[in-house]
Amino acid sequence: MRCRVCDGSITQLFDFGRQPLSDAFLSPDDIEHEFFFRLAVGVCDSCTMTQLLEEVARDRMFHADYPYHSSGSEHMRRHFEQTAGAFLQEHLSGPDPFAVEIGCNDGVMLRTLAKAGVRHLGVEPSGGVAELARSNGVRVRIDFFEESVAAEIVAAEGPADLIYSANTICHIPYIGSVLRGVDALLAPDGVFVFEDPYLGDILERNTFDQIYDEHFFFFTVRSVQAAALRFGFEVADVQRLAVHGGELRYTLARAGRREPTPAVAELLAEEEARGLGTPAAFAPFAANIESISTDLMKLLRELRADGKRVVGYGATAKSATVTNYCGIGPDLVSFVCDTTPAKHGRLMPGSHIPVRPPEALAEPYPDYALLFAWNHAEEIMAKERAFHDSGGRWILYVPKVHIV
């Protein structure tokens, strides 16, 4: 396997072994057809891009039944509303602006632009969530964004002033095709803004569960800058975001068109000082993954031996890596609560722990709830205050195993 950005050689960092697809929630009669792949991560010796070593075919992951709904979190709805508001002021205030979103999901961001009457288009391959976006008044093309699709869009609708993407660019191994597509579609002074989990935060917070099939790349400013330069762009701004355990929002412009903000050089210097992107920077993280796995299994086995009831909370894609790497099954965590209707009555990938609606938490309250959706901790703990008040306790496993 060579680097998907620069074709350089790759140093392997971790191998999590055979893993299922993180969003493939099974109906009980699907178990024998379950798909597995090798989840392993490496870092490019040349451009420092951290990436998976094995790629899963895109239509196995993103299809009509893709179950992740972006609007499932109140906090994320607010985040995308604010994002859209900022775009309206900063990038979409000229005459008849045009905005394209790559991976618009259920329209959580674009519906604000649609309400403001801004010309827009979402490109979203997963038909189910794309239909939800349409029902929210959002224009969507059901397709994978890539070079040929971008060429068709620009021919039909003209250049885009803004191309935006959240939690999607890191999902796309064919990043060269995406950046050539952005080049074809973007207006000369347009910007390409995207936000994804930041490798610097993943290593600092030990959030190893960010590693799963859909998360193909783990970006840094340095690796994104290297990729951008290959396709005629440069990083004009970076902004740290607190969502999903720590992300970076990158603003790319055509090289030489915008003076980069001081934040770019500052974060590049910080990455350099940390050695981020070198294999050595991953050593403490690797050791911490092992401690988390050992400590979590010890705790869950002790609780079972003491006759305590433990359930999970949040059937996240991330939880597939935790349950399958650590070896957590229904014997330790009897079910997982989740708000997403499409996940109810299904089994978690690989671990086969049943998923039930959130109301199941109180029937009756368990002794402990293992919070897989740790990135939504504040929102979930607030809505489930009665569980904690009744003596129930939350188990968290990042940055280390602890109980609150």
> Cα(110)–Cα(281) distance, rounded to whole angstroms?
38
If the CB atoms of residues 293 and 321 are measured against ligand SAM, the closer one turns out to be 321
Is residue 314 part of the contact set for ligand TMP (CB under 6 A)? yes
Site for ligand SAM in 91-150 (CB under 6 A): 102-103, 105, 123-126, 129, 144-145
Tokens 């060429």, located at residue? 151
The least CB distance from residue 218 to Zn ion, in Å, is 13
Sign of CA dihedral 21, 396, 169, 104: positive
Task: State which of residues 66, 264, 376, 401 lies at the interface with ligand TMP (CB under 6 A).
Answer: 376
Burial pattern 190-216, b for ≥16 Cβ within 10 A else e, equals: bbbbbbbbbbbbbbebbbbbbbbbbbb
Q: Write out the E strands in 45-135.
A: 50-52, 98-102, 119-123
- Each residue 151-190 as x (binds ligand SAM by CB under 6 A) or -, in order, gives ---------------xxx--xx------------------
Nearest distance, CB of residue 225 and Zn ion, angstroms: 12
Residue-wise DSSP of 233-280: EEEEEEEEE-GGG-EEEEEEEETTSSPPPHHHHHHHHHHHHHTTTSGG
Rounded distance, CA 337 to CA 315, Å?
Answer: 7
* 34 makes contact with ligand TMP (CB under 6 A): no
Residues 329-368 that bind ligand TMP (CB under 6 A): 338-340, 358
Residue 251 to residues 155, 196, 244: CA-CA distances in angstroms? 24, 12, 19
Residues 6+ apart with CB under 8 A from 312: 319, 333, 335, 336, 337, 353, 369, 370, 372
Residue 198 touches which member of Zn ion, ligand SAM, ligand TMP, none, C-beta under 5-8 Å by kind: none
Per-residue CA distances from 94 to 84, 88, 383 (Å): 15, 9, 41
Q: Helix crossing, 147-157 with 175-185: angle to 10°?
A: 10
321 near ligand SAM, rule: CB under 6 A: no
Q: Which residue has the tokens 């005459």?
A: 95
Based on the shown chain and the rule CB under 5 A, indicate whether residue 44 belongs to the binding site for Zn ion.
Answer: yes
Q: How many residues does the chain have?
A: 404
Q: Which of 37, 379, 393, 399 binds ligand TMP (CB under 6 A)?
A: 379
Residues between 50 and 89 with contacts to ligand TMP, criterion CB under 6 A:
72-73
Give whichever of 67 and 181 is closer to ligand TMP, judged by the CB atom: 67
Residues in contact with ligand SAM, total (CB under 6 A)?
19
Least distance (Å) between residue 230 CB and Zn ion: 9
Does position 199 interact with Zn ion (CB under 5 A)? The reply is no
Please, which residue, 5 or 395, has the CB nearer to Zn ion?
5
Instruction: Give the separation between CA 188 and CA 186, rounded to whole angstroms.
Output: 6
Segment contacting ligand SAM (CB under 6 A): 64-72, 204-212, 333-341, 357-365?
64-72
Task: Extract the tokens encoding 387.
Answer: 């569980």
Nearer to ligand TMP, 139 or 388 (CB): 388
Tell me the C-alpha distance between 90 and 193, whole Å: 12
**Residue whose C-alpha is closest to residue 233's, from 253, 249, 251:** 253
> How many other CB atoms sit within 10 Å of the CB of residue 331?
10
Q: Which does 315 bind (CB under 5 to 8 A by kind): ligand TMP, ligand SAM, Zn ion, none?
A: ligand TMP
Residue 125 contact among ligand TMP, ligand SAM, Zn ion, none, beta carbon within 5 to 8 Å by kind = ligand SAM
Name which of ligand TMP, ligand SAM, Zn ion, none residue 376 binds, using a CB cut-off of 5 to 8 Å depending on partner kind: ligand TMP
Residue 368 contact, options ligand TMP, Zn ion, ligand SAM, none, Cβ 5-8 Å cut-off depending on partner type: none
Instruction: Answer with the entry of Zn ion, ligand TMP, ligand SAM, none that 380 interacts with (C-beta below 5 to 8 A by kind).
Output: ligand TMP
Which tokens sit at 129?
A: 């969530």
Interface ranges with ligand TMP (CB under 6 A)? 72-73, 314-317, 338-340, 358, 373, 375-376, 379-380, 383
Interface ranges with ligand SAM (CB under 6 A)? 62, 66, 68, 70, 102-103, 105, 123-126, 129, 144-145, 166-168, 171-172
